[in-house]
């Protein structure tokens, strides 16, 4: 079967619906992943014969995608900051919003060879990226889920990053003295879960998504411990939910931390809170 023929078949196996609006685009992406080629290669080589094993893989992936499984779980990888990371249903799929944390971290005035902590690391994409993008950085990444730890450690090894991954609840097991602490903790309010897209609600790990009645339960608990983790003058970058920058103002002040900046995502939501220990 040729590339063009298989693309028609794959698109037909994935009827358009909410969350899958363009079956042809998804078919191209899945087949490119199955072939290990760039999408433009498919366009330039429509008559190329596809090997039977690749056909089978692409058909299996299309069936899973049609059933509602997120595309990145289907193929097992997701890009983040220009690198590919392994993902599974044990971890959240990395979002573009989390790249804002990296963007802000690279703009901070950090010492040479900074000590960095990533709390709630999930796939490890943030910890690995910070370790590779901050010269000489040494990163500690914590995660409560044993299943997620397996994924994070795989990604650390895959990218040969200077990251130590440990299991623990928030950061209670970390010793402190960090130059930078990053955290992307669950921040979806309980009542919002039912309205999430099915791909998210039914497939991504609830433990990494849901943050209590207003979404900020774990973030509040973390803020109480945050000053202990930071050396004087050090920074914290917290990815938060809609409205949390205002809702957490009292907790930030009570922790003795100074608010430096709020960064909005592409939708205009204040998504990352930059704090500093005076």
Q: In the chain, where are the structural domains located?
A: 3-68, 88-276
What CATH homologous superfamily does 88-276 map to?
Answer: Vaccinia Virus protein VP39 (3.40.50.150)
Asked if residues 34 and 7 have their Cβ atoms less than 8 Å apart, the reply is: no
Asked if residues 149 and 165 have their Cβ atoms less than 8 Å apart, the reply is: yes
CA-CA-CA-CA torsion sign (14, 203, 211, 183):
negative
Rounded-to-integer distance, Cα 49 and Cα 236, Å: 52
Rounded-to-integer distance, Cα 173 and Cα 275, Å: 21
In the block, tokens 């990604």 appear at 155
3-68 maps to CATH 1.20.5: no
Give CA separation, 65 vs 60, 61, 150, in Å.
Answer: 9, 6, 24
Q: State the pLDDT at residue 114.
A: 98
Q: State the pLDDT at residue 19.
A: 84
Rounded-to-integer distance, Cα 239 and Cα 102, Å: 11
Tens-place pLDDT, residues 167-223: 999 999 999 999 999 999 999 999 999 999 999 999 999 999 999 999 999 999 999
Intervals of the chain under pLDDT 70:
none
């Amino acid at each position: 079967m040729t590339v063009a023929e298989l693309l028609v078949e794959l698109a037909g196996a994935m009827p358009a619906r909410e969350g899958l609006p363009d079956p042809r685009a998804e078919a191209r992406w899945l087949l490119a992943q199955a072939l290990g080629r760039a999408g433009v290669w498919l366009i330039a080589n429509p008559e190329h014969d596809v090997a039977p094993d690749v056909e089978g893989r692409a058909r299996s992936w299309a069936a899973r995608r049609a059933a509602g499984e997120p595309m990145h779980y289907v193929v097992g990888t997701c890009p983040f900051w220009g690198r590919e990371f392994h993902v599974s249903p044990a971890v959240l799929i990395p979002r573009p919003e989390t790249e804002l944390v990296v963007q802000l971290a690279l703009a901070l005035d950090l010492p040479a060879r900074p000590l960095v902590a990533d709390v709630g690391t999930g796939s490890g994409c943030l910890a690995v990226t910070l370790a590779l993008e901050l010269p000489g950085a040494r990163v500690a990444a914590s995660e409560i889920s044993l299943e997620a730890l397996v994924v994070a450690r795989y990604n650390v090894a895959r990218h040969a990053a200077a990251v130590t991954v440990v299991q623990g609840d928030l950061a209670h097991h970390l010793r402190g003295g960090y130059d930078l602490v990053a955290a992307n903790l669950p921040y979806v309010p309980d009542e919002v879960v039912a309205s999430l897209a099915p791909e998210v609600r039914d497939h991504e790990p609830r433990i990494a998504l849901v943050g209590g009645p207003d979404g900020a339960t774990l973030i509040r608990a973390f803020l109480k411990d945050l000053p202990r983790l930071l050396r004087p003058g050090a920074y914290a970058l917290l990815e938060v939910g809609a409205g949390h920058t205002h809702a957490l103002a009292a907790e930030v002040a009570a922790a003795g931390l100074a608010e430096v900046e709020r960064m909005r995502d592409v939708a205009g939501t204040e998504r990352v809170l930059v704090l500093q220990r005076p």
